Structure 1
Amino acid sequence: MKTVSQEENGRAALGTLLREHFEWMHRHPELSFEETETTKHVRDVLVAHGVRILDVPMKTGLVAEVGHGAPIIALRADIDALPITEATGLPYASECPGKMHACGHDFHTTAVLGATLLLKAHESELRGTVRIVFQPGEEAPGGAKVVLDTGCLADVKAMFGLHCSPRLEACTIGITAGALTASVDRFTIRFLGRGTHAAHPEAGIDPIVCAAAFIQAAQTIVSRNVEPFDAGLVSITHVEAGNTWNVIPDAALVEGTTRSMTAANRKLIKERLYALAEGVAAAHGAAVDIDWYAGPPATDNTAAWADLAKETAEAQQLTVVKAPPSLAGEDFAFYQETIPGAFVLVGTGKSAANHNPQFRVDPAALLPTAAYLAELAKRAMDA
């Protein structure tokens, strides 16, 4: 039996190891579905510690296991980075121009890697199996669907994921039942008119007028159709039409995103957006083409598993708060359509927002997060 000092020394050594792996990952970011070197790095660490790697058909990312038999509990980390040029000035800043771990996936990967090593060190004590997913392409999004399509999670009892939060102090755990992040959809609308000289608008159909009318009307979708206490939004983020000052063009493009926290509001917002676009086009004698790109649904934390995540954090003497909701998207929600579980926020110190070139995390949160995830997986086996 290990002495207390041996345990402490082991944790200190693991903390140092995790810091080294975190800095390597931060220096070597790779974009969605291009995570070849990241996958190799994670694989090499797992193999060196005797962790089983499953034969799962994915080009990037991997799935590993610790323990034996049922029940099977899953942990998930996302491994991809963003096309952003880093501006943190960190000594271990990105060495890949135009690429950065600006959303903390390097932290997620390292923390889950640490949890895996902790579980492996006590594998004989586990009363079941922990299946660990190092998922590609969360930012694409859609990497979760790639994992699900392999069938490797069909027998999982519960699944847990995490996201670092620059809104929470380091080592604070944010937990809530139900929706934590929003459904995310993207739309592209093309108003098709008839081009003409700007001096003779009566000879054409102006798609810019259609686009302007739609952009104004779209702001009423949430304000006049969604229950005021519900969260939802329609954001127009890209408008494009014409190429010179004296020609009314043939077409105008309007692109944007919709967000909501419930399936009912997601459906309502889409229906109203289509109705407005088609109505505006008809009123002006134009035509309209609409392309809709459905992203992940809202996350949906199972109440019982959220409670367990909270109890485990408290037992680990971590600060627990109600997770601040966000209309950002998270493809962990695809897992939650068929697998119960919980998605939690982990405070990594106050910082610039995710997806900002100055975003950073406090590596001091790595070891406590790894220990928390390992303990949560063990407790979930007995729940």
Structure 2
Amino acid sequence: MNWNDVVRESVEIRHWFHRHPELTWEEKNTASRIRQQLTAWQIPWRGCAEFGTVATLAAQAPGEHIAFRADMDALPITENAAVEFCSTDPGKMHACGHDGHMAALLGAAAWFKQQEAQLQGPVTLIFQPAEEGGHGAKKMIEEGALDGVDSIFGWHNWPALPAGTALCPDGAVMSGNGTFHMTIKGRGGHASQPEAARDPVLAAAAITLNLQQIISRRLPAQAAAVVSVTTIVADSNVTVIPESVRLEGSIRLSDPRWRQPINALIDEIATNTAAAYGVTADVEVRSRYEATINDHEAAARYRQAIQAELGEHCHESDLLLPIMASEDFSYYLNKVPGAFALVGMAEDEPDGAVYQAPCHSPEYRFNDRIIESVIRVFCRLAGVTAPAGDK
């Protein structure tokens, strides 16, 4: 294939992935399509973490062993985007662009194979399932996906950034996260006799308000963190004070050192507030992903490749970093040096529309035009030649 064929086929593959989304730890057909493509291009691969795939080119080359990663899973969202290749499975959608991530890495794989003699060291391609809360990266590492790898690079499309821009900072680029789950237990009763009950609804409302002091009053202003109550469930009747309330929420933090204090404060505040209302709070705090923190040298190398492709001003943006979304790419960066980039994709369409819907929206649309740019950046990182393109 020539370069144009690689780009065209990558876009076509992306559309196939988009039509056939599969949820976390269900990526059977997605894995099969990836493996069929690698086999057709005579790229050796092995299965990893059930639906994951690890492929390596120039395995015996003596230089640095670098890896690239793409995530695979879709989301439980019903698509509402006006695209010709809409999801064929109601309630499932590639609403985060993982279809585009896979397509770009497959395109890079095809070109790397044709330029394999140029590779100075081994290049590993990691197709990873279960990024959306499933800790797929952790499982891939446990099954040897990083064996022998010296450095790793990944990316995420970002609709809030214009196409032609990309951010790859030193240090944190995405935040760590966690969740909290609590049951507020009281004593149910008649709504007309609140004094005979112990109202868990009132206590849950107070806990929700009091949790806001964690960020505003209990952490230093320099700590970038978020505590959000996202669920309050009090199944009851309009004349009944319920026995219990379920309250849940999300934690985001840009620096791992704030995790323990935040977790402890959630427990302390919920427990003490509940006691003040004559009820109890059973609290569970669960850690999910750590912050995605770039290695300085790897980030500088990534930025150089991005700027060579997109132009020297491509990093100019008013987007505040780290963003508060999370990524399990952090598992890889805790094992080997590497870097993660946010690649912009918002631009005007010929019909006047603009890509604005964020990731995880039913109206989200991936921008196919950025696939070629990402393949080119990967080529620069791997040290292979790609035809000159327009900046």
Aligned to 2:315: 321
Aligned-pair distance for 1:239? 0.5
The aligned amino acid for 1:247 is V
Decide whether the 8 Å contact of 1:82 with 1:99 is kept in 2: yes
Aligned to 1:74: 67
Question: Which is worse superposed, 195-204 or 290-299?
Answer: 195-204
Decide whether the 8 Å contact of 1:210 with 1:281 is kept in 2: yes
The aligned amino acid for 1:59 is E
Give the one of 87, 100, 107 matched to 1:94: 87
Counterparts in 2 of 1:84-163, with a 5 A limit?
84-163=77-156
Cα deviations by residue, 1:136-186 (Å, 9 ceiling, x for unpaired): 011133111111111231321111111001122224222111111111111
Aligned to 1:6: none
Cα deviations by residue, 1:165-214 (Å, 9 ceiling, x for unpaired): 11222242221111111111111111111222223323332111211111
Structure 2 spans left out of the alignment, 5+ residues: 347-354, 385-391
Give the one of 327, 332, 335 matched to 1:335: 332
Distance 1:46 1:67 in 2: 14
The aligned amino acid for 1:67 is A
Question: Which is worse superposed, 115-124 or 215-224?
Answer: 115-124
Aligned to 2:257: 264
Give the one of 7, 10, 17 matched to 2:9: 17
Give the one of 59, 68, 75 matched to 2:50: 59
Decide whether the 8 Å contact of 1:187 with 1:256 is kept in 2: yes
Aligned to 2:388: none
Is 2:361 the partner of 1:356? Answer: yes
Distance 2:4 2:140 in 1: 33
Distance 2:164 2:381 in 1: 15
Is 2:376 the partner of 1:371? Answer: yes
Question: Which is worse superposed, 235-244 or 222-231?
Answer: 222-231
Distance 1:154 1:225 in 2: 42
CA 1:55–1:354 in structure 2 vs 1: closer, same or farther (change >3 Å)? closer
Distance 1:141 1:348 in 2: 26
Give the one of 188, 193, 200 matched to 2:186: 193
Aligned-pair distance for 1:285? 2.8
Question: Which is worse superposed, 307-316 or 165-174?
Answer: 165-174
Give the one of 201, 207, 212 matched to 2:205: 212
Decide whether the 8 Å contact of 2:104 with 2:371 is kept in 1: yes
SS in 2 for 1:320: coil
Cα deviations by residue, 1:338-367 (Å, 9 ceiling, x for unpaired): 221000011222431111111112212111
SS in 2 for 1:210: helix
Decide whether the 8 Å contact of 1:159 with 1:342 is kept in 2: yes
SS in 1 for 2:336: coil
Distance 1:232 1:152 in 2: 31
Distance 1:110 1:171 in 2: 19
Give the one of 344, 349, 353 matched to 1:347: 344
Question: Which is worse superposed, 368-377 or 105-114?
Answer: 368-377
SS in 2 for 1:95: coil
SS in 1 for 2:294: coil
Aligned-pair distance for 1:322? 5.5
Give the one of 267, 270, 275 matched to 1:274: 267
Cα deviations by residue, 1:73-124 (Å, 9 ceiling, x for unpaired): 1110001111111111111111111111110001100011111112111112
Counterparts in 2 of 1:295-314, with a 5 A limit?
295-314=288-307
Aligned-pair distance for 1:55? 4.7
Aligned to 1:36: 28
Give the one of 224, 239, 243 matched to 2:236: 243
Per the normalisation by structure 2, the TM-score is 0.90
Per the normalisation by structure 1, the TM-score is 0.92
Structure 1 spans left out of the alignment, 5+ residues: 1-8
The aligned amino acid for 1:140 is G
- Equivalent pairs: percent with the same residue? 35
SS in 1 for 2:180: strand
Counterparts in 2 of 1:163-182, with a 5 A limit?
163-182=156-175
Q: How many residues align?
A: 370
SS in 1 for 2:171: coil
Counterparts in 2 of 1:278-297, with a 5 A limit?
278-297=271-290
Distance 2:360 2:147 in 1: 32
Structure 1 vs Structure 2 CA RMSD? 1.7
Decide whether the 8 Å contact of 2:119 with 2:382 is kept in 1: no
Distance 2:13 2:286 in 1: 36
Distance 1:171 1:46 in 2: 29
SS in 2 for 1:313: helix
Give the one of 48, 62, 85 matched to 2:40: 48
Distance 1:39 1:182 in 2: 28
